[in-house]
Amino acid sequence: MKYVLRPVSALLLSAMLLASACNQNSGNQESKETQTQTTTAKEVKLPARANFQKTIDGKQTDLYVLKNKNNVQVAITNYGGRLVSLLVPDKNGNLTDVSIGFDNVEDYTEGADTFFGATIGRYGNRIAKGKFKLEGKEYTLATNNGANHLHGGNKGFSRVIWDAKQVDDKTLELTYVSKDMEEGYPGTLTTKVTYTLTDENELKINYQASTDKTTHVNLTNHTYFNLNGEGSGDILGHTLQINADRYNPVDSTLIPTGITPVEGTPFDFRQATAIGSRIKDQNEQLKHGNGYDHNYVLNGSAGSEMEKVATITGEKSGITMEVHTQEPGLQFYSGNFMDASHTLKNGTKDEFRSAFCLETQHFPDTPNQPDFPSTVLKPGQTYNTTTVYKFSAK
């Protein structure tokens, strides 16, 4: 049999090509939808608890989880009283980990202390030349930050194992007893730090301490935040507002030299301003800190009442964090010494300025600067202060 090839009409050919194109577009659309679904379905999770269960210095470390009705989740390890993960919903309702850290306890114990998420004590921030006089006696501390003492010393509170008690799904109590002359500080100091997660998406941190000898105490939390999510890039596009008319200028070793107005300087964040908008200005103070690493003298009741002192928003996620505190000071640090030397929970590096800190505190070097609000704690007194980080998104 002989087959005869007949020419295809132009109309039929057009129909065939159109059908082919439709099928191809349909396939591409399905592919794109599948990719979108895959991306959307990618779930942000807390690190595995088993990664934090280890014996260190004869004590057991672990990971504790707080959760509220809005699915906000907080993971805390009793190694250094550290906040490891903080999952909050972004403007689209997707959970975002806004806390920088590691997915295992070993990375927190090795090498130089990053202070990621740590409870800081006995004294947060710097003390000049690692010395102070108290009741006529001079005390000498470790100089672990150039010529100065930083964040409690070589070990401080950030590398000890706290005793942990999970009260309920929303509350964790951590206690630690620092012996007399530990890190050079006088007095046996008994400290309790309570983390509480509320249904209003507030993470409350309450600090309490008592001593059997007169001493200095200045406790804080050193969480590194990125409100666009860990590994999302730098924080220079975040907008920040701080309720402070004054700040502490510092010398080249970051020890305060007094108190001065923020007006007319790159340190004026009284109106919401992008962190990166002035960070490269030719300013001596920015050179000292390689960016922002300064204490703000907060307006308001100067430590007696709870005040909203700062508001910061991630420009990509729409997540806003408010800071409320009873403390008179707030250290704003723009991640200037981050150098991509550590691998974070999601596999990315801690790149330069990829996180910020807002540490509520008394002023740096207060033991040597009598004009600053006192950090002296005496027997019979109770150190008691609360800081709140409150999250929302739009």
pTM value? 0.88
pLDDT of residue 113: 77
Tell me whether residue 337 is exposed, middle or buried, using C-beta atoms within 10 angstroms of its C-beta: 0 to 12, 13 to 18, 19 or more: middle
- Going from the C-alpha of 70 to that of each of 13, 202, 322, 324, the distances in angstroms are 57, 11, 18, 21
Q: Which residues contact 347 (CB under 8 A, 6 or more apart)?
A: 231
Tell me which residue of 147, 117, 52, 16 sits closest to 389, measured CA to CA.
Answer: 117
Helix (H, G, I), strand (E, B) or coil at 261: strand
Which tokens go with 300?
């308001």
Rounded CA gap, 214 and 210, in Å? 10
Query: 72 forms bridges with which residues in the sheet?
Result: none
Cα 118 to Cα 46: distance, rounded to the nearest angstrom: 17
CA-based nearest residue to 120, from 161, 180, 61, 80: 80
Q: What is the pLDDT of residue 110?
A: 86
Based on the number of CB atoms within 10 Å of its own CB, is 385 exposed (0-12), middle (13-18) or buried (19 or more)? buried
* Residue type at 4 in one-letter notation: V
> What is the model's pLDDT at position 203?
98
Q: Report which secondary-structure segment, H or E, holds 240.
A: strand 239-242
CA dist 81 → 3, 77, 174, 257 (Å): 84, 6, 7, 31
Q: Rounded to an integer, what is the distance from CA 163 to the centroid of its chain? A: 22
Instruction: Mark whether 149 is an active-site residue.
Output: no
CB 227 within 8 Å of CB 392: no
Print the SS3 string covering 152-176: CCCCCCCCCECEEEEEECCEEEEEE
Could you say which of 216, 327, 359, 362 is catalytic?
359
pLDDT value of position 43: 80
Please state which CATH class domain 49-393 belongs to: mainly beta
pLDDT score of 303: 58
Residue-wise pLDDT tens for the chain (394 aa)?
333 333 334 433 344 434 444 444 444 444 443 333 333 436 899 999 999 999 999 999 999 999 999 999 999 999 999 999 999 999 999 999 999 999 999 999 987 778 999 999 999 999 999 999 999 999 999 999 999 999 999 999 999 999 999 999 999 999 999 999 999 999 999 999 999 999 999 999 999 999 999 999 999 999 999 999 999 999 999 999 999 999 999 999 999 999 999 999 999 999 999 999 999 999 999 999 999 999 999 998 655 689 999 999 999 999 999 999 999 999 999 999 999 999 999 999 999 999 999 999 999 999 999 999 999 999 999 999 999 999 999 9
Beta-carbon count within 10 A of 138 CB: 8
Which residue is catalytic, options 222, 288, 294, 362? Answer: 222
Rg (CA), the chain: 26
Q: What is the DSSP letter of 130?
A: G
Structure tokens at 212: 């059997």
Burial annotation 10-30 (CB, 10 A radius, 16+ → b, else e): eeeeeeeeeeeeeeeeeeeee
Q: Alpha carbon of 244 to those of 12, 195, 266, 274, 280: distances in Å? A: 76, 26, 13, 16, 21
Among 254, 255, 273, smallest CA distance to 265 is for 273
Which amino acid is residue 298, in one-letter code?
Answer: L
Query: What does the block give as tokens for 136?
Result: 């006529």
Q: Which residue has the tokens 């689209």?
A: 92
Give the integer Cα–Cα distance in Å for 268 and 278: 10
6 CB-near residues (< 8 Å, 6+ apart): none
- To the query of whether residue 359 is one of the catalytic residues in this protein, the response is yes
Contact 275, 269 (CB under 8 A): no
Residue closest to 122 by CA, chosen among 329, 375, 325, 303: 375
